[in-house]
């Protein structure tokens, strides 16, 4: 009987599920063709990488496991404390206990393309997602820390359900009656907080891209309102816009 071609074996491996693929790899392991061995090696490397990723994610569920007696655990994080322009945005996310979202991590450690993909997956899989947003004018009025707290409270209120526990990235939110657990660098230690960080970051970044179309010349789509050299030069050349935080840019105005 003629051997299957390498392309046929490749197609067979691609169409198989994980268990079937393992059987096929074992079946073709004695095939001495370099192309077949390359296919088997590639799939085994993918399996190893997947196992490693699942172990990393399991490590990020330590707080979710610790507080597993709570049914509705909500992760909270914000984006946009540091920029010179635009709102501060908070995300609140409740994930199902058995939820797996591969490559979920602190949004700052992810590429923009990866964040966009994860945003869609979180929105699809989460039990509830809430977003809170506080304007530059309000930031100037009450300061950025209070504004961030306000955005977080709004995000929780917009969930549509009441969480039983909040896992927060480093802070304890004032005027919230729900039990809270502040976690230093929580967006890298909790899947719930990481999910919230992605929601907050992507929501804010998309908004800054829209602002770039309305207020051209400042480069909002590129720097997202942060204090890059180009942004500061644009403020000095063109003057501030309605979305600039006056308390943040006062030293750049002549």
pLDDT in tens, 207-250: 999 999 999 999 999 999 999 999 999 999 999 999 999 999 99
What does the pLDDT read at residue 1? 43
What does the pLDDT read at residue 254? 63
C-alpha 145/C-alpha 138 separation (Å) is: 11
C-alpha 168/C-alpha 191 separation (Å) is: 11
Q: Output DSSP code: residue 104.
A: -
Q: Could you tell me the domains of the chain?
A: 6-59 (no CATH), 70-247 (3.30.420.10)
In the block, tokens 């960080």 appear at: 197
What does the pLDDT read at residue 14? 84
pLDDT > 90 in the chain, percent: 79
Asked whether 88 and 203 are in contact (CB, 8 A), the reply is: no
Element (H, E) at 183: strand 180-183
Query: Which of 193, 129, 127, 185 shows the shortest CA–CA distance to 155?
Result: 129
In the block, tokens 């955005």 appear at: 151
What does the pLDDT read at residue 19? 82
What does the pLDDT read at residue 13? 87
User: Residues of 101-127 as b/e, b for ≥16 C-beta within 10 angstroms?
Assistant: beebbbbeebeeeebeebbebbeeebb
The residue ranges of the chain whose pLDDT is under 70 are 1-2, 254
């Amino acid at each position: 009987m003629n051997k299957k071609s390498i392309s046929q074996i490749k197609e067979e491996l691609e169409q198989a599920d994980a268990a079937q693929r393992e059987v096929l790899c074992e079946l073709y392991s004695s095939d001495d063709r370099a192309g077949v061995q390359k296919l088997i090696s590639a799939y085994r490397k993918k399996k190893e990488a997947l196992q490693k990723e699942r172990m990393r994610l399991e490590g990020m569920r330590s707080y979710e496991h610790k507080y597993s007696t709570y049914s509705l655990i909500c992760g909270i994080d914000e984006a946009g404390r540091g920029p010179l322009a635009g709102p501060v945005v908070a995300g609140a996310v409740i994930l199902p206990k058995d939820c797996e979202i591969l490559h979920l991590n602190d949004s700052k450690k992810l590429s923009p393309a990866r964040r966009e993909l994860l945003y869609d997956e979180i929105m699809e899989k989460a039990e509830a997602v809430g977003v809170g947003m506080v304007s530059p004018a309000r930031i100037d009025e009450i300061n950025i820390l209070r504004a961030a707290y306000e955005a977080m409270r709004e995000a929780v209120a917009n969930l549509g359900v009441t969480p039983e526990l909040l896992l927060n990235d480093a802070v304890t939110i004032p005027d919230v009656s729900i039990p809270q657990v502040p976690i230093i660098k929580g967006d890298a230690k909790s899947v719930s907080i990481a999910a919230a960080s992605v929601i907050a970051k992507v929501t804010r970044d998309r908004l800054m891209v829209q602002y770039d179309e309305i207020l051209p010349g400042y480069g909002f789509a590129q720097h997202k309102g942060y204090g890059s050299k180009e942004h500061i030069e644009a403020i000095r050349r063109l003057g501030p816009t309605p979305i600039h935080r006056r308390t943040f840019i006062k030293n750049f105005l002549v």
